[in-house]
Amino acid sequence: MHSGTVVFGTVFMDCKGFAANRYDPLGRNVGSVRFIHGGVGRNVAENLALAGSAPVFVSSVDAGGLGEEVLARLSAEGVDVSRVRRAEASGMGIWLAVMDERGELASSISQMPDLSIMEAIIREEGEEIIRGAESVILEIDLNDFISGEVLRIARKYSKKVYGITGNMEVVLRNRHFLRELECYICNETEAGRLFGAPVPAGEPERVLETLVNYVDAERLKSMVVTLGGAGSVFYDGAERNGGFCPSLPTEVRDTSGAGDAYFSGTVEAMIRGIPLGDAVMYGTKLASWTIREEGPTCRTLPEPLF
């Protein structure tokens, strides 16, 4: 079975509040509240489909109206959801987020889905799914078993794996996982935890120097650190090629899906054979389109990404 890119990740239902005026963390804030389909894995799968790919999504959703709504939307966009399991409870997570008047994330609380459902998928179908894939995208910090097994099977069948994080706990416990990734992409906060020192987002040259030293010391293949509005830095350890990619001037409405969009555009470009130094430009473009929207993806691209 040939299934293109396979995405292992979560589905969340995002409850987002958007402040209409200056956000006061201790006061009452007038604005709007919306329920939005989210989750790192779900966002990436939808982004890939919007960019012209046909990914297979491996995840779980709640059995019921909300779960079916998530699956229907992904399917309509071109995502293969045949590997998504329905669960009576906790099939998907909940993310409560407050966005300030600039569209920046002010605070949030996450409730994780029951990851034993995805563990079961990997035990029962993991070999078949990964063997038939061209490449694998992994939300690498779900838990130790999921990441370890996906990487093991991918290694067995010589499949390239691209990693994205939602938090950092699994990565910090298993730094060796990163050596098995074709590319690891994270933001400056996550990179700071990995490097053991704060990352000065406003000083990309210093960040790039730190990144090069880290990738070489840890024997990683390639890594990218996003710096928010300051752009991103990248380094391909195999090609010994690194650099800086500036951000694009953009009217910001909601930044919460920017990282997933950047990852999706960059990785899709790499899968298409575009070198990392050029691939990051596609990620930057998709992220700039996404933060114009009040949602984690840009469902109507202003122009084809590729």
Structural domains in the chain? 5-23+32-290 (3.40.1190.20)
Round to whole Å and give the CA distance between 223 and 215: 7
pLDDT at 206: 96
Mean pLDDT of the chain: 94
85 falls in which pLDDT band (50, 70, 90)?
A: very high
Any residues with CB less than 8 A from the CB of 186 and at least 6 apart, and which?
Answer: 164, 165, 194, 223, 224, 225, 226
Strands (DSSP E) found in the chain = 5-8, 12-19, 31-38, 56-62, 80-87, 93-99, 105-111, 135-139, 160-164, 183-187, 222-226, 232-236, 241-245
45 falls in which pLDDT band (50, 70, 90)?
A: very high
Round to whole Å and give the CA distance between 214 and 299: 36
Round to whole Å and give the CA distance between 123 and 93: 21
Q: What is the mean pLDDT of residues 260-273?
A: 97
Contact present, 118 and 60 (Cβ < 8 Å): yes
- pLDDT tens, 99-151? 999 988 899 998 999 999 999 999 999 999 999 999 999 999 999 999 999 99
pLDDT at 136: 98
Q: What is the mean pLDDT of residues 86-102?
A: 92
Nearest to 137 by CA among 7, 279, 2: 7
Confidence check: pLDDT of 173 > 70 = yes
Q: The tokens 């990179």 sit on which residue?
A: 191
Q: H/E element holding 173?
A: helix 169-173
Amino acid present at 247? S
pLDDT at 3: 53
pLDDT at 1: 33
Q: What is the mean pLDDT of residues 148-159?
A: 98
Confidence check: pLDDT of 44 > 70 = yes
164 falls in which pLDDT band (50, 70, 90)?
A: very high
pLDDT at 2: 38
